[in-house]
Structure 1
Amino acid sequence: MIGPLSRITLRWIASALVTYGLVTPDAGALIAVDPDLIALAGVIIGATVEGAYAIAKRNGWQT
């Protein structure tokens, strides 16, 4: 489940970077399809979700 989410996230980030002229279109394409970056984004997304869950449980929020 995190794999597709991380690919979509990286595509959005890459397109924003290209749109604002921060990276070239070739670099943006590399960001969007690099398997190592996709795996790293998956780890970051997973850790963020788990951290938000832990904070919600600790504060008694609905989970």
Structure 2
Amino acid sequence: MGRDALGGSLDAATKGRKDERIYLRADKAVSYGDLMEVMNTLRNAGYLKVALVGLDGRS
């Protein structure tokens, strides 16, 4: 799924409830800039409750 489809996919998954919490997780291979672009995409789609989930470091 591309970033352009993210808002629509979340609308379908949350039944349009923009107050749903969205959990976002990324590993070290994802650049800070890419992570921020996704967060901005979520914000622009109206999803303001975004939680960052940390990885526990185990393999």
What TM-score, normalized by structure 1, do the two folds share?
Answer: 0.31
Q: What TM-score does the superposition give when structure 2 sets the normalisation length?
A: 0.33
* Structure ranking higher in strand proportion: 2
Q: Which has the higher contact order (CA 8 A, sep 6+)?
A: 2
The higher radius of gyration belongs to 1
